[in-house]
Structure 1
Amino acid sequence: MRARKVPAAALADIADAEWVDTSRRPYVEGGIAWVPVREGYSADTNLPERETYRGRGYHLVGDVAILHGEALTEEELAAIVEHCRPRGVVRVKGFIDAMRIPEVEILYGTAGEVRHREQGYTFFLDPTRVMFAQGNRNEKARIAALVRPGERIADMFAGIGYFTIPAAMSGARVHAMEINPIAFEYLQRNIMANHVADRATGELGDCRDLLSGVYDRVLMGHFDALSMLADALAHVREGSVLHVHSIGDMSETIRERVGEAGFSATVTSRRVKKYGPHAWHMVQDVTIS
């Protein structure tokens, strides 16, 4: 790996530099970071390639490794630390109530606020205090590709801006609603950090009370979305599209609810990621007619 040597404390400052190969992760040891370099730019050294990691699955959010599920063995934890050299390793045991507050265990090092870069977007968050939907990466990219400049979009469960930021950067006007005050603070900060304050407006509170007017697209990225479908359908028109997340395929139920609201719809189901044994996180694209 072609790399440049920089102080580890400077990683956030050079994250957007043209020479940084963002498809690869820096190697950090002590206070020094070896940052991958894109072709066509000079490098300080050529590091040997790492062996393929075959251990316990995790996500690197900023410089903190996040994992879910059962407790780790000492060997699994050591393998993660050796592979990605994180500031900390955090196990998320679950999420509490509608605010999706993570219940966490810090297994190594320290955690706290991070600056996470993904697909050209910047997200500030504290993964011990708010949820980060790392597994929805492909869905975020899909939404960014689907929206058209000028669309009016409702993001009913905005969180820290997982879908709000990509949609706004694609030119949409996003009404972003979030009930968790901590997540909302990060949402506001991320709107500013990504320079979309002219296209994204955050609002704190229950989305059922905040929906207003008619939307071209409604993002419903929560597993309780189906229970709030009637609220969303009160703010759509012919041609509007809703993206309804669920565990398992809920197409037939959605068609019934749409019919009860006086519309018809074309419903297409997509798998987002594996949720558990014999269960998938799904998203239903619902086009109103």
Structure 2
Amino acid sequence: MEVPCIAVAREVGETARTALAEAELLDGDHEIAVDNGRIYIPVTDPDSAVDAVAAVEGDTEITARNLPARQGVQTPADLLDFEPSLERIGDIVVIDEDDPDRAEAIAEAVIDADLPARSVLNRASKIKGELRVREWDVVTTDDTAADSDLTPTETVHREYGHSFLLNLAAVYFSPRLATERHRVVEKVESGERFLDMFAGVGPFVIPAASRDANAVAVDLNETAIDYCRENARRNSVVDAVTAITGDVREVADDYRGWADRLVMNLPHSANEFLDTAGTRSQATTVLSTTTISNMRTTPSNRGLRRYGRPPSRSMRWPSKPNTSSGRTPHTS
């Protein structure tokens, strides 16, 4: 069957494979192929994979290719009569099924297949409340797995060389934003003052601190901040991360005009916090925000213009989540 691949020159194949493995983007169900001096590496997310191999020398392209399945690898689809929709977060597999019998069948297939899965969770609610968490049904969990000391909804998620302990039942976390987070953080320079207004478990501030930034994490969710502190310890950046529990509008007065780079990842209501972002910024602060809108002139654009300058021309506002970076309106 045709699967998405990253194609690179044979000479840099191992470099590319290592980068994709570190980003957890390798498709382990299919073999790597070599043809006419090019290596075809199967990947799970081709768009993210392009970013993961951006530093690899030579011509890199996304393509689709018929690749043989790896011998001995059994997938959930092999055990079912359909291809289930799955999402991996660490060693947790997430499904979204209304039929409990179908959910049970998928969970059983996941555990019996050759996947490093410890728990299978079924979404039981939408994301809700100020803390942006959802309810889960634990369909099955493997108490004999390596991380059996964790609760069924806890896991360690690895992203671009960093590890994040988190509890899906207690914090907001989206692995789908991994590429956007990486794009923001890879621009951070040593000595920058980095402020994340809705930090969660630290997927922005931990990598920023690893790049020698002075990082401040603020979140209303006390549990998320506890995990953020633990993740700072896990990633050896404790001294570079200050984690604060509370409403950013109330607890960040000490950081007025402080930030060189400010992250505001709250897609549905980021506009309500533009005043706070503006007062925490200085003349050259870079603001990265996520918005969801299908309007040509978004509330975010209008809010930014209130400070005296529209967003960067490179910004686009599609009807799906988009993380965009630009100088704050203070820039001359």
State the TM-score, normalizing by the size of structure 2: 0.65
Partner residue of 2:130?
Answer: 98
Q: Which amino acid aligns with 2:261?
A: R
Task: Identify unmatched segments of 5+ residues in structure 1.
Answer: 1-17, 28-46, 272-277
Instruction: Quote the Cα distance in structure 2 between the aligned partners of 1:26 and 1:122.
Output: 20
Q: Which amino acid aligns with 1:284?
A: S
SS at match of 2:280: coil
Q: Which amino acid aligns with 2:256?
A: G
CA contact under 8 A between 1:267 and 1:287: conserved in structure 2? no
CA contact under 8 A between 2:156 and 2:164: conserved in structure 1? yes
Between 86-95 and 173-182, the greater mean CA deviation after superposition = 86-95
Partner residue of 2:284?
Answer: 239
Instruction: Quote the Cα distance in structure 2 between the aligned partners of 1:192 and 1:25.
Output: 30
In the TM superposition, residue 253 of structure 1 has moved relative to its aligned partner by 3.0
SS at match of 2:169: coil
Partner residue of 2:54?
Answer: none
CA contact under 8 A between 1:267 and 1:284: conserved in structure 2? no
Give the count of matched residue pairs.
245
Partner residue of 2:215?
Answer: 174
Instruction: Quote the Cα distance in structure 1 between the aligned partners of 2:266 and 2:96.
Output: 18
Partner residue of 2:315?
Answer: 269
Instruction: Quote the Cα distance in structure 2 between the aligned partners of 1:182 and 1:136.
Output: 21
Instruction: Quote the Cα distance in structure 2 between the aligned partners of 1:257 and 1:244.
Output: 12
SS at match of 1:255: helix
- Large movers: runs of 4+ above 4 Å: 21-27, 51-54, 68-72, 249-252
In the TM superposition, residue 179 of structure 1 has moved relative to its aligned partner by 0.7
In the TM superposition, residue 68 of structure 1 has moved relative to its aligned partner by 4.3
Q: Deviations over 1:181-204 (max 9, x none)?
A: 111110111111111122211001
In the TM superposition, residue 238 of structure 1 has moved relative to its aligned partner by 2.5
State, as a whole percentage, how many aligned pairs show the same letter: 24
Compared CA separation, residues 141 and 50, structure 1 to 2 (3 A): same
Q: Deviations over 1:230-264 (max 9, x none)?
A: 11111223321111111125764333222323445
Between 66-75 and 161-170, the greater mean CA deviation after superposition = 66-75
SS at match of 2:273: helix
State the TM-score, normalizing by the size of structure 1: 0.74
Partner residue of 2:47?
Answer: none
SS at match of 2:179: helix
Q: Deviations over 1:130-175 (max 9, x none)?
A: 2221111101211221111111111000000111111111221111
Instruction: Quote the Cα distance in structure 1 between the aligned partners of 2:247 and 2:166.
Output: 21
In the TM superposition, residue 26 of structure 1 has moved relative to its aligned partner by 9.2
Partner residue of 1:50?
Answer: 73
